[in-house]
Every structure is written in structure tokens, then in C-alpha cells.
Structure 1
Amino acid sequence: MSEIDSAPYRIAAQPYYRPVGNEVDLYTAAYAARMPMMLKGPTGCGKSRFVEYMAWKLKRPLITVACNEDMTAADLIGRFLLDINGTTWRDGPLTLAARMGAICYLDEVVEARQDTVVVIHSLTDHRRTLPLEKKGEVVEAHPDFQVVISYNPGYQSLTKDLKPSTRQRFGAMVFDFPNPDVETEIVAHEAGVDSITAVKLVEVAQRSRNLRGHGLDEGISTRLLVYAGRLIAMGIPPADACRTALVRPLTDDPDMQDTLDAAVDTFFG
């Protein structure tokens, strides 16, 4: 088989990522050992950006799969397709990454059905192989190949959880929202706002996160803070930007919206 062109899957420019601990060193060591990795943390806390940054730093191509409940094993490994020449095999993203030596990132993996997730098992233990039963081929993973999965533990349930047989194939890193000073630095950089505005946005987020389990499943994410900051940078009044990017996406409950609107008015009223 001819060599696969990895150029479309390489991160050309350095993604902005602000380390908050020793996560870069930990992941670098895990990749050197080709240890499959599991990233756990709330929505919008930087897991996907971290994977992009590490792919860039390690100079590896990155293939990302947004998992969902309708995804089948064939969507991951590939299928035969009809074309003008008859039937042609088309590799799925997992197979392509294994052949290429890419990092394969399965984002929000618990959204996928468990019978779909098990196809990664043979790639995440000592075998590092992927059987393509329909094609009658066993793919030997490239030496540089690695699987990374992520999910939000806050959304776990009995129907959306990883089997122990899957969990115990991975090392794990836990992510959370950074401390206020670091988060302020991130928001100011990513949104292009001044530090005073960034501080106020982070304060609003802190208020919302204190309500987790008291009317909110999740607090305002760093991602949403960046969205609000970008609206402000474009000239939208701060209170309007916050309601549009922070409050209304988070909840449909009128009382909770009023509570969050009051927090916005405290800092931007």
C-alpha cells in the first residue's frame, strides 16, 4: 500500500494552550510509551485544545472523531462503498490513524454505543492491531499511533459509561477549569479583551459554577467566556454579550436565568 499523506491532518500553527500543571510532561511521557490516554473533565475546560497542542508539539498528525449515539463500528473502521469501478474499501478514521501513525482522538467517547467502542480494544493493548473482518485484513498499528479518548464525568449514567474492560486500557488525566488568574489570562488572550473585562467574565463564571447541583448541571465554561469576550471585543455591550453567550445557552429555567442575569448585572450593570 502506498504511503498515506498525513499533511491534511497535521497542526500547522501552534495552538494556544496555557498549562496549569504538569499535564504536558505527563502526556509527553505517555506518548513516548504509546500509552492510550483518557482525558476527563467538564465541557469547555480545554481537553480538545490540549490534544491539538500536544499533537503540534509532538509533530504528529491528529484525526478527531466527534462521537455520537448513532456512530457504528463501520463509521470508525471503514466500509465497502460502491463507485463507478464497483466496490471499493474506504478506511474509517480509526483505521486511517492506525495506518498513518496519527493520534486518534475520540471526543466524548461515552456518547458512542458500547458495542462501537469495543472496536478500539485490540488497538489499546499489547496487540496494537485492528481486524477488518469484512475486508479479511488485520491492520498492524504504525509505531507512532496512539488512541486518546475524552468525556465529561458529570454526564455519566448507567447507559453512558465506559466498561471496566475499556477503562483499564488507558491512563487517565483529569482536567478542570483553571484557577481564576490563569483563566483570566486565557480569556484575555483568546477573546482579545482587556484584563479588567476578562476578570469580570471569570467572576460571572465562578458564580455560575457555585450553582452546580443547585439548579445547574454545569457552570459556565471557559469556552463560553471566550465567546462572550469576542462579542464584547466586537462592540456588543458587555451585559448583552454575557446574556447571549453565557446565560441563555446554559439554561432554559426562567428563575435560573434571572439568577445568572443578576450576576452579570453585578459586574457589567
Structure 2
Amino acid sequence: MPQLPGELEHQNGAAYLPDGERPYYQPVGNEETVFKAAYRQGLSLVLKGPTGCGKTRFVEAMAHDLRRPLITVACHDDLTTADLVGRYLLRGDETVWVDGPLTRAVREGAICYLDEVVEARQDTTVVLHPLADYRRQLPIERLGVTLDAAPGFGLVVSYNPGYQSVLKDLKDSTRQRMVAIEFGFPTPEVEEGIVAREAGIEPAVAAELVRFGQAVRRLETGGLREVASTRVLIAAGRLIAEGLSMRDAALAAIAGPLTDDAVVGRGLAEMIDVYLTAPH
């Protein structure tokens, strides 16, 4: 069923309509220009970069600028083709077809964003191939039909090449159908502004959090699950805005999520004591 204006549907993938205020995104290069040029040419995009660097917010901002609905799918190991395309379900005494998020986007001319696409099984992502190239079509074998993408449809996928193993990577046949945009963490000055705005804290506090985050990113240790992302710095800032001390906020929002290793955790706590000294 097509979405009505202003309707926000969450079944089989979170949908976002680009009404109201633009999602806050601070560009760090020419990524907005590349995205919009690719979209206008009907090209699919792959966003590559570390977790928490702003890829999802970027896509939300682009959907807002382009005035297109956005349907987001968080990919995972158990994601099947049917989860993306659709399936028959029992409703009362009858069996009905229910579109998956990818099919909804194709029919409605929405942007479909597959977050961390390599977490999905490779036999699932193969369904993207005819959509990602010049055909812009979605075959639905269960219905015996092939859908042409409606005007305005766009396909965007993302993944973190530094985190994924060699066993979880995009097939060459998939990546070569897409325009790639590389993401990294912003410069300290830009990141400080992002953290201050998103967390609602003073610029000086944001600057200390960013300085600590950069120090964590320079660490070379196998005990860290990820580096300190802009996302966790914002989370720490929000705790500080609620009255927590910088130390308690950093332990809870930065050190805790980054490692389960006791030794590494103690090392991060010592770094917090060195870098985050201001009382708040």
C-alpha cells in the first residue's frame, strides 16, 4: 500500500519522510555533491567508513534535500531475500502478499538504505544486482513479476571496511555496480562543533571530548572492538548535559562500549583521568 503524505510506516524497515527540519549533517568534503550527482543519474551508492562517523545521518540529510522518502534496513546475519523483497503471510483466512522494504522503495520511488550490508548473507545481496545497474529492476520470483523502479528510487548501502573480516565483504560484482563515497571522522574543529550541537554542551567541553576521542583512535591494541566514534562522544556529551561528571560520562558512554577487556578498560580509564580534567 502506498504511503500517504505525512505517514511514517515502520513495518519491514524504518521509513522516514523528508518533511520538517533537515537532519543535522556537517559535510567534510564533496560527499553531498557526489551523492546528489549519482542519484540524479540513477546510480547506486556504497558508503564506506567507520561505525558512528555519520553515514546514516548523511543519508537522512540527502533524502531531505532530494525530497524523497527514505526506507532504512539494518542488515544482519539472518536477513533473507524474503525479508527484503516480501513474502506471503496469513491474514485471517487468506494468504496475502506483503512487500518487503526493498520492494516498497522500488514501487514508491523511495531511497532504500541498507545499513551494514555485508552483515547480510551474500545470496541475499545478489538480489540487488539488477537494481544497482542500468536495468533498475527487481525480479520477484514468488510473484512471477519484474518491477521497474519508480522514478525517484535510489539504492544506498554502507559498511565498515576496517571492521569487517575478509569473510564479510561486498562481492566485486556488487561493488562495481556502485559509486563509492569514503567516510572518515571529521577534523577536530568540525567534530567539536558537531558534538557541542548534538549533545547541547559548551564548546570547551566538546573540545575535551574530541581530544580524548582522537587519543583513543591513535591507540594500537587488539582489545578495542572499535575506535571512539563521533556517536559515542555525543553520547558522553549528553550525559554531561544531564549533570554527570566528565569522567563518569566518558566511562559509561565511551570506555564501556569500546571494550570488554579488563586491562584495556583500565587503560582507557587512566586516559580519561589524563584527558578529561574539567569539573562538570
> Which TM class, normalised by the smaller chain length?
over 0.9
Which of residues 64, 88, 95 in structure 2 aligns to 1:56? 64
The percentage of aligned residue pairs carrying the same residue is 54
1:20 partnered with 2:28? yes
Q: CA deviation at 1:253?
A: 1.4
Q: TM-score, normalised by structure 1?
A: 0.96
Q: Distance in 1 between matches of 2:221 and 2:129?
A: 35
- Residue type matched to 2:83 in 1? D
2:77 aligns with 69
3-state DSSP of counterpart to 1:206? helix
2:216 aligns with 208
| CA spacing shift, 1:243–1:137, aligned 2, 3 Å | same
How many residue pairs match? The answer is 268
3-state DSSP of counterpart to 2:170? coil
Q: Distance in 2 between matches of 1:164 and 1:18?
A: 31
Q: CA deviation at 1:136?
A: 1.5
Q: CA RMSD in A?
A: 1.4
Q: Distance in 2 between matches of 1:211 and 1:50?
A: 27
Which of residues 143, 161, 167 in structure 2 aligns to 1:135? 143
Q: Distance in 2 between matches of 1:212 and 1:91?
A: 46
| 1:20-169 equivalences in 2 (<5 Å) | 20-169=28-177
Once the two structures are superposed, what CA deviation does each residue of 1:109-159 show, in whole Å capped at 9, x if it has no partner? Answer: 000000000011111111111111111221111121010000000122232
| CA spacing shift, 1:181–1:86, aligned 2, 3 Å | same
- Residue type matched to 1:46 in 2? G
Q: CA deviation at 1:100?
A: 0.4
Once the two structures are superposed, what CA deviation does each residue of 1:140-183 show, in whole Å capped at 9, x if it has no partner? Answer: 11121010000000122232111111111100000001011100
Which consecutive unaligned segments of at least 5 residues does structure 2 have?
9-15
Q: TM-score, normalised by structure 2?
A: 0.92
| CA spacing shift, 1:75–1:199, aligned 2, 3 Å | same
> In the alignment, is the contact (CA less than 8 A) between 2:116 and 2:158 conserved in 1?
yes
Which consecutive unaligned segments of at least 5 residues does structure 1 have?
none
